[in-house]
A = this chain, B = another copy of it.
Amino acid sequence: MINACLLIIGNEILSGRTQDKNLAWIAAQLNETGIKLAEVRVIPDVEATVVGALNECRKNFNYVFTTGGIGPTHDDITSACVAKAFGVAIERNAEAEALLEKHYTREQLNEARLKMAEIPVGASLIYNPVSAAPGFRIENVFVMAGVPRIMQAMFDGIKNELKGGEKTHSRTVAAYVTEGVIAAELTAIAEHFANVDIGSYPFIRNQRLGTTLIARSTDTAALDLAQAELKKMLLSFTDEVVDEDLASA
């Protein structure tokens, strides 16, 4: 199983000021590529913390993606931290500078904006079709913007560089039966299908309590069998079972 870690870098996420929207989008994209998002860390704009997390995660996961901290202001420290983590210099990248020169007028392209062309030595650029200032890749670490629209455009550009394993598929069943009622039977099914990961998620919908069961596996045959068993099990408690995720209120 190829896995990945996402580092969400930014005080604004930790303070609760900004609701992260990148985790779910990246998770879905990685899944399409056969890569499992195995951990996410939200960390502050503090050099020692960012460098430490980068070095720990790039060893422990096949891929590391970062979002945030590559803009022109004083609190954008991600690129410098990546250089430090890899023990390389950070320098004005000619290709990145050319991209900024095309995007900005000569007057607009001040020192602060040129900071966005400071890239660790040895990195390759990740293009930004929205606002020019690039991200970059160094070894297994992909450094992207925090703004979702920009991050998504960057990710689209590097998607074909990612080597995934088998894709994880999922099957969903749900019913108006609570977790506590079905738990014993559910455990038996989960134990029977060793290569299927079954998650149980309670919900409240129209004042009725229920449970959504989501089975995930790379083995679609096992998945179909597991779904049939889950459905049969739910039907032993209620007549009304659906194949959709009845989300939590």
Contacts and interface: CB of A to CB of B under 8 A. Distances in A.
A153 interface: no
Contact of A11 (B26, B191, B199, B202): B199
Contacts of A15: 27, 31, 37, 170, 214, 216
A18 B74 contact: no
A12 B197 CA distance: 11
Contacts of A236: none
A214 B72 contact: no
A202 B72 CA distance: 10
A51 to B, nearest CB: 14
A10 B82 CA distance: 29
A25 to B, nearest CB: 7
A40 B12 contact: no
Given A17-B245, A23-B42, A49-B39, A73 B11 contact: no
A87 interface: no
Contacts of A181: 108, 110
A43 interface: yes
Query: Interface SS of chain A: helix, strand, loop or mixed?
Result: mixed
Interface in A177-218: 179-184, 186-187, 190-191, 197-202, 214, 216
Contacts of A104: 180
A238 interface: no
A111 B12 contact: no
Nearest to A36: B14
Q: How large is the interface on A (under 10, 10 to 19, 20 to 34, 35 or more residues)?
A: 35 or more
A197 B16 contact: no
A111 B180 CA distance: 9
Given A40-B14, A73-B186, A202 B110 contact: no
A191 B12 CA distance: 19
Contact of A71 (B19, B113, B179): B179
B186 A74 contact: yes
A13 B18 contact: no
B12 A199 contact: yes
A71 B245 contact: no
A75 interface: yes
